[in-house]
Amino acid sequence: MVTIDDVTEELMACTCPHHIHRNAFCKHMAAVENAIDDGTLDAFPSEDDDETEPDNCDCEGLNGFPCWPCVRTGRTELPN
């Protein structure tokens, strides 16, 4: 469980072993910090919302199979 300061809305602590034993910023705190107001979390946020080809696209050399940068950004989906 992640606790947040009621006044400043800053992250304060987490009950996971990583934070308790190391007093370190944990993945749970990162998730809460990156959650949007409706309580959801975009685990793989796109750097841009347009459908432009990523700079490191290599789809042409893969005989119709999409490259990872295009899959990661949501430009193309992996075939079944």
**Count of H-run helices and E-run strands, the chain:** 3, 2
For 52-64, the pLDDT digits (tens) are 777 788 888 888 8
- Please report the pLDDT score of residue 17 as a whole number: 92
- Please report the pLDDT score of residue 15 as a whole number: 92
What whole-number distance in Å separates Cα of residue 38 and Cα of residue 64?
A: 38
Residue 42, pLDDT > 80, answer no
**pLDDT tier, 11 (very low <50, low <70, confident <90, very high otherwise):** confident
Q: 0.85 exceeded by the pTM?
A: no
